[in-house]
Amino acid sequence: MELIELKANVRTERKKGPSRRLRADGRIPAVLYGPGAETIALSIDTTELDKAIKSRTGSQAFFNMTIEGGDISTKTAMIKHLQIHPVTRHMIHADFYEIAMDRKIRAMAPVTVTGKCIGVENGGMLQIIRRELEVLCFPNQMPEEIEIDITELDMGDSVHIQDIVTEEGIEFPHDANFTVLTILSGRPEEAGEGAGAEEAAGGSEAGE
């Protein structure tokens, strides 16, 4: 598990006015919470947080947070929710969840495919229904991706959540056995240059 360094400052004011001033100064309000821990109000430099998120290797970012203000402390945390402005697309608030190495977490991992698909080579189209899957595991077991080999899939075949084999200790905390990806029967007149054709091309080149 890669830990990304991130600095934060304790925030004493929580009203809208101070939060607007923070954003004007290039920072955003944030909170840090976790099981049995008191919620801490923080402020974080927007540019530094953006760089930290972009530097992650997987879907989920883990942070080594240095919190300044009063007693300086260090916490290991992950982003639980990042609020984005609907118009400007700027970050406006972040929720961080404190994690412990001996406590399992729920996090999202991206789905990737490998192999040349029989169904796609025969004219079908690969449709990825779930591009991310929630996993339950200890922080140091968090996979960077969930890899699915589609080599043997023919038109009409699907991969469900229960078909995916993971390393020991990694679970999918889902009750329903939902479909993750499927190979559709392609029709030349429908493929053209649309999204389906792009998916087909991506699937047939996955192993190259």
Residues across the chain = 208
Tens of pLDDT along the chain (208 residues) come to: 778 999 999 987 766 677 888 888 999 999 999 987 889 999 999 999 999 888 876 667 889 999 988 677 899 999 999 999 999 998 999 999 999 989 999 998 999 999 999 999 999 999 999 999 999 999 989 998 999 999 999 999 999 999 999 989 999 998 889 999 999 987 544 444 444 444 443 444 444 3
Instruction: Compute the distance between CA of residue 1 and CA of residue 49 in angstroms, rounded to an integer.
Output: 18
Going 118 to 121 to 123 to 125, the CA torsion angle's sign is positive
Q: Kindly list the structural domains of the chain, giving each domain's residue range(s) and its CATH number in brackets, ordered by start.
A: 3-98 (2.40.240.10), 105-204 (2.170.120.20)
pLDDT of residue 9: 93
Enter the DSSP assignment of 50.
H
Residues 6+ apart with CB under 8 A from 205: 116
pLDDT of residue 66: 94
